[in-house]
Structure 1
Amino acid sequence: MFSVFTGIVETVGTLESIDRGHDCLRLRITAPEIMTDVAHGDSIAVNGVCLTVTDFDREGFIADVMQVTLDYTTLGGLTKGSRVNLERAMVSGARYGGHIVQGHVDGTATLMSRTPSENWEVFRFRLNDATLGKYVAKKGSVALNGTSLTVAEVSDAVSGQESWFEVSLIPTTLKDTMLGDVGVGDTVNVECDVLAKYVERLHS
């Protein structure tokens, strides 16, 4: 199954419960706003991570998270009551408002600073896997916790400890996604632009 997302968050859900196994998690997420047409086996991006619906009702859904996903994402750090960005997989013929997002998280980034302005707020992130810096370009696209954003600035270094990038968030994004909850020192899921990854692969 191949699912595509746009990075346009539909709603913010609430993590109702977590069942922790030895090398897995089972999440129950409440999100009645998007449950009208959800079916068993559907894909939903949770903070940018493509998960499969294993059970559902009118109020929310259940999804399993395996070890490799826990290794590369922030899902293992969620707690009961955490707010999460949600987007159902794109349907054929729908308007494409963001960029191509697969729900395949490449790594995480830590928020270094939040700088408010009159009409937006600048977030600076440090890539926790510095090798991802080569995929993040000024004016390019990046998905943070599943939210499609435009990169405003990048560090000169594409790898190493100084590999950072900035995004500017408008009030609507801060209000309608959980990115407004992110504080300095918190980590978010990062999915780099898939086109950048394929270009790098072709030239390697």
Structure 2
Amino acid sequence: MSTSHTVTTYYLEQTSPADLAPAEGPPAEQGVRIVRSEIPSPEFSRFLYTAVGGDIRWTDRLSWSYAQWAEYLGRPGVETWVAYERGTPAGFVELDAQPEGAVEIAYFGLLPAFQGRRIGGELLAYGTARAWDLAERWPQRPKTQRVWLHTCSDDGPHAMANYRRRGFRLYDTTVTEEPEVPAPGPWPGAGPRTPAGT
């Protein structure tokens, strides 16, 4: 017998670059840097997707083929920005340029081991700034007029607070019943993980 659970989805937006509030990032000795993954790589993007989302039921792209990943990542205005701590991937933000000057933050998050290290606020602020100046790197795209994202009650407990602190405003909420599926972990059989220090 299949079961379901209630999922609340929250839609948030910024409508001006002035909406973006900076974050107090990690100390310099942590060695955190944020770099754009400029060469589309299905393998790397799938790694980031499963490593970050495996514990919070990110399952919509698990069935994507290599060709689907390559086609999506090759679209003008799709960008992946990766946070590294001393050379190790810590999290990512994925931007997806859409019509009429909208840019969606399609995915954002940290690997569990890097949560609670003041990286998330810095990565979100940096990625949002890159959404606002995306047309500088993609001249065929219109100037950004709006940056939006959605999060839900299945996401990490600090997601909504981070979005609000960066200046995102709630503009819509939906409630749906979703099938109960186990968190797949970063690979089959891995199971959920806990952040370092918990």
User: What TM-score range do you get, normalising by the shorter chain?
Assistant: under 0.3
Q: Which structure dedicates a bigger proportion of its chain to helix?
A: 2
Larger RCO: 1 or 2 (CA < 8 Å, sep 6+): 2
Higher strand share: 1
Query: TM-score w.r.t. structure 2 length?
Result: 0.25
* TM-score of the pair, normalised by structure 1: 0.25
